[in-house]
Amino acid sequence: MVNIKYLAGLANLAVSEQEAKTFGKQLKDIIALISKLNEVDTKDVELHRSRIDLTSDKYLEDVCSTSLPTRSVLYNAASKHNDYFSVDLILENKQLMPKSPEFSRSLNKKISK
């Protein structure tokens, strides 16, 4: 039995009681379909990087280039402060503050505003 509310919580999604009920029923059908894979014998299959993955041993040259202007990067932000994205406080307990001094400073600055 799939716990829809729990899974939605893991994915940071809000689902209503009605949605949880509907999704639960639909996922049951879908899981029945995908469970058919148990009919396929895979005991000799060695799982390596998929055969179609052609990315191995590929490295990009480390080249400097112009990045997008800060203004256009911040253009779509819901909330910004100077040249930063502004977000709600995530960690309220100061003991859990990240150790990076830069990050703590910027966070403290924001809190004091």
Partner 1 sequence: MKLPINYQQQKKLISEKKTTHVEILDGYLERIEKYDKKVNSFLTLMKESSYKQARLCDKLFSELGEDVYKKYPLLGFVVSLKDLYAAESVRTTASSKVLDDYTSPYDSTAVSRLRADGCIFIGKTNCDAWAHGSSGENSDYGPTKNPWNFDFVPGGSSSGSAVSVTCDFCLASTGTDTGGSIRLPANFCGVVGLKPTWGAISRYGVVAMASSLDCVGFFANSSEDARSLFNATKGIDGFDATVTNVTPAKLKNDYTIGIAKEYLNDGVNPQVKNELKRVISTLENNGFTIKDVSLPLTEHAISVYYIIQPAEVSSNLARYDGVRYGHDRSYFAPEAKRRIILGTHVLSEGYYDAFYIKAMKVREKIIEEFDRVLNEVDAIIAPVSPTPPFKLGEKAQDPLQMYLADIYTVAANIAGIPALAIPSNITTQNLPLGFQLLGKRFNEEVLFDIANKFESVNTKHPGKAQLL
**Do residues 74 and 80 make contact, with C-beta atoms less than 8 angstroms apart?**
yes
| For partner 1, the closer CB: 55 or 112 | 55
How far apart are the C-alpha atoms of 93 and 110, rounded to whole Å? 15
What is d(CA 6, CA 20) in angstroms, rounded to the nearest whole number?
10
Q: Minimal distance in Å, beta carbon 2 to partner 1?
A: 6
Q: Which is closer to partner 1, CB of 68 or CB of 95?
A: 68
Site for partner 1, rule CB under 8 A: 2, 4, 7-8, 10-15, 19, 22-23, 26-27, 29-31, 33-40, 42, 45-47, 50-55, 58, 60, 68, 72-73, 75-78, 85, 87
Measured on CA atoms in the order 31, 36, 37, 42, is the torsion positive or negative? positive
